[in-house]
Amino acid sequence: MNMSFLEWDGILPARFVGIDNYVAMFKDPLLYGSIVHALILIVFFSFIPVAIGLAMTALLMGKVRRGMTFFRVVFFLPQVLPLVAVGITWRWMYAEDGLVNQFLRAIGLDVVARAWLGDYYLALIAIGFIGTWCVSGLCMVLFLAGAQKIDTSLYEAAALDGAGFFRQFFSVTLPSLRGEITIAGVITTIAGLASFDLVYVTTNGGPVNQTTVPGLLVYRLAFQENQIGAACALAVALTVLIIVVISAIRLALREKP
């Protein structure tokens, strides 16, 4: 944090400038756009994966079928893959002649096919779906582990009261998974706000800064423009933003006394 009060290019002696780096940062319109992009990515990195994880938990809970372990491993696999490798793979899949467009043309949707990561309006959403694919398995595994700890007598009592599948899920399963949902929400939100490698590999912030995120701006300031102090100031601001959002999530999901 001390370096955020300095003007330093990483080579010459540093000069103390006080809060000038923070003032300049908040005057930069690109910063506000990057924060909005990061908040949009939270929807794809956190909200949608949590919903998918809960849906998969509801479908798989208590069911022992052949090949279930293999299915869980495959669904969780994207979480353990390096994001650089994931980004390179999806960049190829999203290309004009990639698998996504080949599939769309095969089913007669040629008009929809496009260079997804180069589209001014859809590039950020395309990256968001990559994040959804990556972290949905983590949410599912967390929720399945939590569901296994739920007392089966609760479901038996709910069934005796006439509760069906959906009523049992919303009245028994969902409240019992509050802790796991909080953990998943915190982890995935941090992944969305602090995203860098996936954006850097796929679009590098383009087209026209439509996928620029704070993490990418920190990299540009530090390693391309040699503004180490400004980069540290932005990193501190990003850390504060993450703490605020995480605190809001924990407050919203805390168990009421």
- Tokens found for residue 225: 């423009």
pLDDT at res. 164: 85
pLDDT > 70 fraction of the chain, expressed in percent and rounded: 96
Does the pLDDT at position 212 exceed 90?
yes
pLDDT at res. 201: 93
- Per-residue pLDDT band at 199 (split at 50, 70, 90): very high
- Per residue in 128-179, pLDDT (tens digit) is 999 999 999 899 889 988 888 888 888 888 888 888 888 888 888 898 898 8
CB 94 within 8 A of CB 126: yes
Does the pLDDT at position 63 exceed 70?
no
CB 228 within 8 A of CB 6: yes
pLDDT at res. 67: 64
pLDDT at res. 232: 92
pLDDT at res. 256: 59
Average pLDDT (40-46) is 94
User: Count of CB atoms within 10 A of residue 3's CB?
Assistant: 16
The C-alpha atoms of residue 249 and residue 38 are separated, in whole angstroms, by 16
- Per-residue pLDDT band at 121 (split at 50, 70, 90): very high
Q: Give the class (CATH, top level) of 2-253.
A: mainly alpha
Sign (positive or negative) of CA dihedral 38, 40, 46, 49: negative
CA angle 141, 147, 151 (to 5 degrees): 160
The count of residues in the chain is: 257
> Read out DSSP for the chain?
-GGGGEE--SSSPPEE-TTHHHHHHHT-HHHHHHHHHHHHHHIIIIIHHHHHHHHHHHHHTT---TTHHHHHHHHHHHHHS-HHHHHHHHHHHTSTTSHHHHHHHHTT-TTT---GGG-TTTHHHHHHHHHHHHHHHHHHHHHHHHHTTS-HHHHHHHHHTT--HHHHIIIIIHHHTHHHHHHHHHHHHHHHHT--HHHHHHTTT-STTTT--HHHHHHIIIIIS--HHHHHHHHHHHHHHHHHHHHHHHHHHSPP-
Question: What mean pLDDT value characterizes the chain?
Answer: 88
Angle between helices 123-147 and 68-80 (to 10 degrees): 130
**Rounded to two decimals, what is the model's pTM?**
0.90
Q: Domain coordinates of the chain in residue numbers?
A: 2-253
